[in-house]
Amino acid sequence: MDTDALRRLHYAAAIACGVFAALVTHILLTVFGVGLDAVLRDAAIGSKQQFVSAMAWWAIGGAGFVGGWAAGAYLIAAARERELIYRLAQRFLIALVFVAATAGGIMSKTGNLGGTVDVIAGLTALGLGLICAFCGARLAYLNAEQV
């Protein structure tokens, strides 16, 4: 495969992994009741709900950034044939998929999700995760070009 096409594929995969990490964080925070929708749920907005929503916002953004950066660094290391990093990242990604599947299963059992507030919170988490994952993946590839 062409080197430029492979690089673009790695870049897209790193962004996708960052978005996936952001959505997993959003799912887990929603399961624990401290998601982005804390402000949208109550008519009387208090400072506690705003704080919870702000912390969820930063956690989702941070997860997207770190996920994009880590996946980018992993793909760069795998392309340079570094075996130890490849094995560690492989186990981490398997664990991440397991956590996401478990959280999704728990959410499907609650029965009170799926309204307009949840759709708004989910799309916000998706957009935030996409932007932060792009930034994280870009940082990983900029650092790799300097090495």
Residue whose pair of structure tokens reads 């950034």 in the numeric block = 65
Top pLDDT among 101 and 129 is at: 129
Residue range of the domain that includes 84? 3-146
Per DSSP, 33 falls in state T
Residue whose pair of structure tokens reads 């959505």 in the numeric block = 23
Count of CB atoms situated within 10 Å of the CB of 79: 14
The structure's pTM equals 0.78
Q: Domain count for the chain, please give it.
A: 1
Helical (H) or strand (E) element with 2: none
User: Residue 81 and residue 66: Cα distance in Å, rounded?
Assistant: 22
**Ranges of H-type helices in the chain:** 3-31, 38-41, 47-79, 83-110, 116-146
pLDDT over 80 (residue 103)? no
Tell me the residue length of the chain.
147
Q: Which of 6-20, 26-40, 83-97, 127-141 has the highest mean pLDDT?
A: 127-141
